[in-house]
A and B are shown apart, each in its own frame.
Chain A
């Protein structure tokens, strides 16, 4: 019931492309059905027009009205959360560099007191970017580091305080409780600070990123997502079902290991690259 040249084989190929981009089975089906509709409705036969139809469908999903990119209002505190090794600490360095470049006073909080040399890692970044850092020794209570950093940022009239946290798998209840405690401490500072919580997701991950989003959102009420490692060959298609279900905006994408390797997320570009 769709027109002419686009037979089952064509849609099977499309299915393969979408699934190989980690879009997931459900969203893949949704995209295919919507594309079929457009092809039928507009009687499309031209290959380029078909491609455009698919991209349009994807862009629609990525560009929901209710999740517009939000500008940060200062003074702000940003809490960075996510599972192990996705790129949280590196992303903090990139954000600090970005905001500093805008002429803002930035401060970092070394809220990962668990992982070996996590504090030193952030310290090196702070030094390279040229921003102050509040820290404690490995093994210290992360909530108290956050608390101290909030006090310091307040008294020093910092514009943006960015808090690192230890990587944690969302299915570890004790670690999620610890995160919830940090989140509360940050919430308590909302008379002074505008509070933002960003989830860092690795573009290489599969559908597990959906579970990550669900649980971190429950615990920390996410304001945005940062999608890292897009410089790899993975397309980060998982962001499509995530947007579809949770309507959390993707604020930035990470495209490398240096401080400059951070870009704004542009749905149009993302959709283009997906079907390159």
Chain B
């Protein structure tokens, strides 16, 4: 299960806390040290861990906790609160443009899961009785267009492709025009994977953004990503201003550090979690439920 390692470590720490009647400052320091290690071992970003632990420490050392009759419970509640807010607090639903068409654009590193997620989103949006177009803007990866076409067929959504055109910006413009002419409610742009440090390709995203003015630019992040997750998210956010994040491959046994880091550094919500390779494996992300699950509550 995802978060398993983190979950069991944190719960061990809590067990120790609950076993004690009253807590001393030393107990809390020891507990926060253990929490810090657990988070680091779970790939939560180093900087995120530092500020997280500082928050816990400050709140837990507050007079109320030390005087409380159930101090262990109080600390657990604080950690639960902080974890929830770290992952964005309230769940955020995907919104549609009140008038006209809604334009979504999926971006991310190579292999993050964009094309698959495009299909999953199409299936999800179709269930809300909306007409969805998938636009194939990856001209680089061999058979990327074909991949989207196969996926489009699987979810019964039309795919706009132009195999003659080599410029993704032009394809995006054509796709948008096509979508407008054919009264689509939603169009989803699948873009090629790219490194956040690749200036030329990042600039291409800026160009696509300019020409199709997406309502939502959504970063796909592989849940297995390590410490780099925050740099990736920060850079994409700086360059093209994200509206949210989708965590993919959360069906693995990853320790979930990326999940805990990305929302907090970008301030952008985690909209969905990818839970498998099937095109129905997409779930709305609930920060509070995820926190409770990690803490075994």
Contacts and interface: CB of A to CB of B under 8 A. Distances in A.
Interface of A: 16, 19-22, 24-25, 83-87, 114-118, 120-121, 123-125, 128, 138, 169-172, 202, 204-209, 211, 229, 231-234, 238, 257
B195 interface: yes
Given A115-B277, A232-B195, A138 B150 contact: yes
Name A's interface SS: loop
A245 to B, nearest CB: 14
Interface residues of B, number: 46
Contacts of A21: 227
Contacts of B225: 204-206
Given A117-B143, A204-B222, A204-B228, A171 B37 contact: no
A121 B141 contact: yes
- 9 closest A-B pairs (Cβ-Cβ)? A206-B226, A85-B111, A206-B43, A116-B150, A117-B147, A124-B142, A22-B226, A120-B143, A121-B143
Contacts of B40: 19, 25
B35 to A, nearest CB: 13
A120 B143 CA distance: 6
A20 B47 CA distance: 9
Given A16-B46, A85-B222, A204 B109 contact: yes
Given A121-B142, A125-B142, A207-B41, A169 B252 contact: yes
A234 B252 contact: no
B112 interface: yes
A19 B37 CA distance: 11
Contacts of A211: 253
Nearest to A231: B195
Interface string B142-174: 111011111100100000000000000000000
Given A86-B111, A117-B147, A171-B253, A205 B196 contact: no
30 contacts: A22-B226, A83-B224, A85-B110, A85-B111, A87-B110, A116-B147, A116-B148, A116-B154, A117-B150, A118-B143, A120-B146, A121-B142, A121-B146, A124-B143, A125-B142, A169-B251, A169-B253, A170-B253, A171-B252, A171-B253, A172-B251, A204-B109, A206-B225, A206-B258, A207-B226, A211-B253, A231-B195, A233-B196, A233-B231, A238-B226
B112 A85 contact: yes
B192 to A, nearest CB: 9
Contacts of B191: none
Interface string B228-254: 110110000000000000000101111
B253 A234 contact: no
